[in-house]
Amino acid sequence: MPEGVDSPSIDPDKVNFTRAILALGVGGFAIGTGEFVIMGLLPEVARDIGVSIPQAGHVISAYALGVVIGAPVLAVAAASWHRRTLLIALMAFFALGNFASAVAPGYFSLNLLRFASGLPHGTYFGVAALVAAALAPPGRRARAVGLVMLGLTSATLVGVPIAAWLGQVFGWRAAFVFVGVVALIAVALLRRDIPDIQPAIGASPWRELGALKRKQVWFTLGIGAIGFGGMFSVFSYIKPTLTEVAGMSVAGVPFVLALFGLGMVTGNLVGSRLADKSLLKTIGGLLVYAFFVLVAFTFAAHHVVSAGICVFLIGTTVAIGPALQIRLMDVAGDAQTLAAALNHSAFNTANALGAWLGGLAISAGLGWTSTGWVGALLAVVGMGIFAWSITSARAAARPVSKAPAHSAG
């Protein structure tokens, strides 16, 4: 898709690009904090609502399910909304979901409210990416999208520790109150700093559903859902791997988790710059990079220092995120909103798939480091989907030769 499609002309003199990106990023920061903080507070949640820790973990799955379902449903339903109005509505709904989660009386209600809180996640990031790309200077679309995603990745470094501390001191419910407050701040910033961008002419739910007819959209989603699963395969079991294999003390684990967050921030910034230079080479190259990093983890995990370095590198594989987001925007044609939102459904699918397959390998007796091999295999499958995508695109672009006409007689 050429730059500017699906966005009307915007007067750059009337838009403060930095403030607009900051507003979008604060929303991403709120969502990232709300998504990840619960993972560090499961014992407190379980104790308070009277369930086991594994049962309390269902609230994580409930949120992820909300993301997967909410992204396509809300993107299609709100196809004709003005971009700023939609962003504000999504963030306000997210704030409400977190405030309600903070007062959930029991297991069932908490799961239901976490599911509801996850509904706006994918659509928010999809629409935020479209707005950032529309506001970006020429040749900097991926970097603009990367800056929005920086809100999500920086949440692992700043937002999650703050919310987790509040949860430890004042109870887990305080963590969700914090997330809700940040979301309300994002609502105010979005209202002040995002221009009133209209949807594309003729935008409608039916036209958005047209994205599902495009093979390249499915190829790109497949790369994200499968090829990106390796990061989650390893990270889902990183604590027992570090303590059981590398011999790290429990007190040292948070420092390694911080390295993972730093890797995500670094990868997001570097990956978006690479994507602006060469989109397809960046996607293919990062899949190869992920393969080697995940294979290296199976050996590096036996030593504390090398394990920490490798965890940082695994975090950098998130660099593929902005590239896949831009690729979806390029191949979706006039169905931009749905395609952009589905990118986050794909990443949450990668989360579930990577964690599930990693757990199967561990349960089969292959050891904690087997998650690295699982992740490497997923990267290989992602390479295969990418190669298939390129081959299909070239075949579609190849002119159809016509048979020569035969002269009569």
Q: Is the distance from CB of 262 to CB of 312 less than 8 angstroms?
A: yes
Select the CATH number that applies to the domain covering 13-199 from these four: 3.40.50.1100, 1.20.1630.10, 3.30.465.10, 1.20.1250.20. Answer: 1.20.1250.20
Do the first three CATH levels of 13-199 and 210-397 match, i.e. the same topology? yes
The domain spans of the chain are: 13-199, 210-397
User: Tens digit of pLDDT for each residue in 329-353?
Assistant: 888 777 777 777 888 888 888 887 8
- Would you state the pLDDT for residue 404? 53
pLDDT at 191 over 90: yes
The mean pLDDT of the chain is: 85
| Separation in Å, CA 192 to CA 107, 298, 385 | 38, 48, 42
- Would you state the pLDDT for residue 1? 40
For the chain, what percent of residues have pLDDT higher than 90?
38
Helix (H) or strand (E) holding 116: helix 107-135
DSSP state of 189: H
Q: Which ranges in 301-335 belong to alpha helices (H)? A: 304-316, 320-331
Structure tokens at 25: 């990023």
Identify which has the larger pLDDT, 259 or 333.
259
User: Tens digit of pLDDT for each residue in 8-19?
Assistant: 445 555 668 889
pLDDT at 203 over 60: no
Q: Is the distance from CB of 78 to CB of 120 less than 8 angstroms?
A: no
Structure tokens at 134: 């529309």
User: Tens digit of pLDDT for each residue in 45-97?
Assistant: 888 988 887 678 788 878 888 988 898 888 888 877 888 999 999 999 999 99
- Domain 210-397 architecture: Up-down Bundle (1.20)
Q: Is the distance from CB of 311 to CB of 326 less than 8 angstroms?
A: no
- Characterize 329-341 residue by residue with b for buried, 16 or more Cβ atoms within 10 angstroms of its Cβ, and e for exposed: bbbbbbbbbbbbb
- Residues with Cβ within 8 Å of residue 288, at least 6 apart in sequence: 379, 383
pLDDT at 376 over 80: yes
Mean pLDDT of the 259-277 span? 89
What pTM does this model have?
0.77
